[in-house]
A and B are shown apart, each in its own frame.
Chain A
């Protein structure tokens, strides 16, 4: 089975621009979660989508948004980029939503904001 894929792997943007990141979960997985990883902060939860519905949202401003399609693929959008948005964005999938689910991570998208 193919793993979680994320595109693009690397991205450079300037302040004020917007960006869209894509995540394809493992086949059959219906839950997709997004995390931001920055040095010293670990992985911070952004949101989770299950069956095209946002199930849970972390403590991030409204500039961060996402969506999920009927094939479970998910996109994350960040508008009006700030320097502090530079980070590794990780997507994780699991078969279902709910607690005690092992999550399978993709390789991440490295976003640099100049």
Chain B
């Protein structure tokens, strides 16, 4: 049972434009969300997180938006750069999950120079 879903397996964006990656979750008890970026042959690296008490968190070119009523979060990358080309995973956890995170299946982003 996939509790965190990323319905777009891939996304292509022109350099300089905005990349929007989407993530949906089914469990309304999740209260902490993260985005990870993964390059081939490397482990995922933490990008940005958001707590359920917020609806937006910004870090440089990266902004995560959380819509709790829709159980939806998105990652905006502005402007997109070729080095952003990677697989992006969203993940969720709750107070009962300890260090267990529920991950989506990933979206492969390609930024075209």
Contact = CB atoms under 8 A, between A and B. Distances in A.
Interface of A: 4, 31, 33, 35, 40-45, 48, 50, 55-56, 58, 90, 92, 94, 97-108
B89 A97 contact: no
A108 B42 CA distance: 7
B95 interface: yes
B8 to A, nearest CB: 13
Contact of A97 (B46, B96, B98, B105): B98
5 contacts: A4-B43, A43-B101, A97-B98, A99-B93, A99-B98
A103 B99 contact: yes
A41 B99 contact: no
A29 to B, nearest CB: 11
Contacts of A101: 99
Given A31-B99, A40-B105, A102 B93 contact: no
B62 interface: no
Which of B42, B45, B100 lies at the interface centre, i.e. has the most chain A CB atoms within 10 A of its CB? Answer: B100
